[in-house]
Amino acid sequence: MTDPDNALQVACIAPVAHIGLSSYGDYDFCLAHIAAAESDYASYFKRQREKGRFVILDNGAYEIGNALSDNELMSIIEYIRPSEVVAPDVMFDSIATSTRLEMFFKNHAALIHSMGIRIMVVPQGRGISEWTEHVKRVSEDFFFDTLGVPKWVSGIERRDDALLRLSPRTLHKFEHIHLLGMTNIDELRGFRVTVRSIDSKQPVKAVMLKESFFNANLPPITTFFDDDLGTDGQVDKTDYYNIAVAICKDFVATSKHLYGLQDVDILDGQK
């Protein structure tokens, strides 16, 4: 990642057909279930790593309801050699997540770390209280590099509020903090805990829906489509892609701007 300790790093999750949009983020975020099914998709992220790009490999739990099996995940890890992998978790279930983590760390963590790959752990729970308890437990039970904060937490309260429920001793254990997904970009405004990175499908969704969802420096997306209609009333594919590129770039810049609106005191969860 570019300067991960001083600025929020933002990934634009791109669809298979337009995977090149991923390169307009600060780093790449690879969805494991797609990598397992689409060889071209997996090859793209392998090439990105070979170029020196930071690549996070997700485990598929959020997208398909279950993380890939350990063997499936390890096969993709060995092929792509990502910079970081999200260890298996089970949505809303702290006990099942700990069970998956125990097996994953017992059988694979040493090899993954020997390959120079970081491990992200995503605590789970049925609410904020159970989630914070699980954060504490996993921080004591496993050696990992990055705390992943699931998207569902932001549906209950801002994720910086949730993180600030942790004791400073627990929070300072984590070398890095990553926000998985985004419900609303305004969540980043004045974020009160230092986080390394966030990933999102929102910019690509905005282009697909032809509507803006954040206060950006670009005109409303519908303006682009009105201006770029061809003689047949359709948007040229090249123009459509250029619109998507512009939105991804502006999404990254806007995320960083909102995150940078910090108060004087910041609780640094990375050091």
* Residue 149 located in a structural domain: yes
Asked if residue 235 belongs to a domain, the reply is no
Domain count, the chain: 1
Helix (H) or strand (E) holding 149: strand 146-149
Tens digit of each residue's pLDDT (9 = 90 or more) over 132-161 = 999 999 999 999 999 999 999 999 999 999
* Distance of alpha carbon 209 from alpha carbon 215, whole angstroms: 16
Q: What is the pLDDT of residue 210?
A: 59
Inter-residue contact 123 to 134 (CB < 8 Å): yes
Structure tokens at 242: 């250029």
> Among residues 38, 122, 121, 21, which one has the least CA distance to residue 80?
38
Q: Which residues, listed in sequence order, are joined to residue 55 by a DSSP beta bridge?
A: 28
* Nearest CA among 232, 123, 106 for reference residue 178: 123
The single residue listed with the structure tokens 């992998």 is 85
Domain for residue 164, yes or no? yes
Burial bucket for residue 87 (CB in 10 Å: 0-12, 13-18, 19+): buried
Q: Does an H or E element contain 57, and which?
A: strand 55-57
Q: How far is CA 4 from the centre of its chain?
A: 14
> Residue 245's pLDDT is what?
86
pTM: 0.88
Domain span holding position 201 = 9-208+250-268
Q: Does any domain span residue 52? A: yes
pLDDT at 17: 86
Segments of the chain with pLDDT less than 50: 3-5, 213-233, 235, 264-271
How far apart are the C-alpha atoms of 61 and 95, rounded to whole Å?
15
Residue 54 tokens, joined: 């930071």
pLDDT of amino acid 209: 66
- For residue 151, give the CATH number of its domain: 3.20.20.105
Residue 58 lies in a domain: yes
- Asked whether residue 101 is assigned to any structural domain, the reply reads yes
In this structure, is residue 18 part of a structural domain?
yes
d(CA 94, CA 131): 7
Question: What SS3 class is residue 244?
Answer: helix
Alpha-carbon span 70 to 106, nearest angstrom: 11
b/e map 106-142, b = 16+ CB within 10 Å: eebbeebeeeebbbbbbbbbeeeebbbebbbebbeeb
Residue 46 is assigned to a structural domain of this protein: yes
What letter does residue 14 receive in the DSSP assignment? -
